[in-house]
Structure 1
């Protein structure tokens, strides 16, 4: 399956810290949040690598559509409670509706240098 990934995409995933064994399980349909479990600061770091290292223009990218924040909550009290009780954060993130961000889309961005 990983052979379906472009060399640049594999390099990107390695640069972000994904292990070889995890990369081997990926294909173009692999979703960053839903399948790889990326969210919050980690997902933000993956997107920063696209912008900083691969010079992808992410001006049209809306993080909130694809990833939950680290402590998802609709107000300050909810975020504080989720921070105090970490397992509640997992339940809160699972209820959200986030668009799938596939590795194929990341690969297109790497090659076109812009978010589409």
Structure 2
């Protein structure tokens, strides 16, 4: 498999930092998988109690968020690798507070739905 051009630029970073970056990538992917599993559970819950539009929308939203998070994980991993190769600071991201806010909103809606008779 051919290496991308950006992997041939700059200096090879210390393998420990590359492995740490990879572990972070894998943590983001695990989070995406957990969100996807949550969406599947919600969809199954919706099928069990009858179609409830809000639950289906939340399930789809979690599935979409999972896909977006997978892309963000790769983009962050790549940006961090490039920064390390060129001796620059690691780039910041809005993904962490955004993800937190979205998960908080979904949890609040689920809590409200569970409290309804």
- Whether TM exceeds 0.5 here: the answer is no
More helix per residue? 2
The TM tier, using the shorter chain, reads 0.3 to 0.5
How high is the TM-score relative to the length of structure 2? 0.32
How high is the TM-score relative to the length of structure 1? 0.32
Q: Name the structure, 1 or 2, with higher relative contact order (CA <8 Å, separation 6+).
A: 1
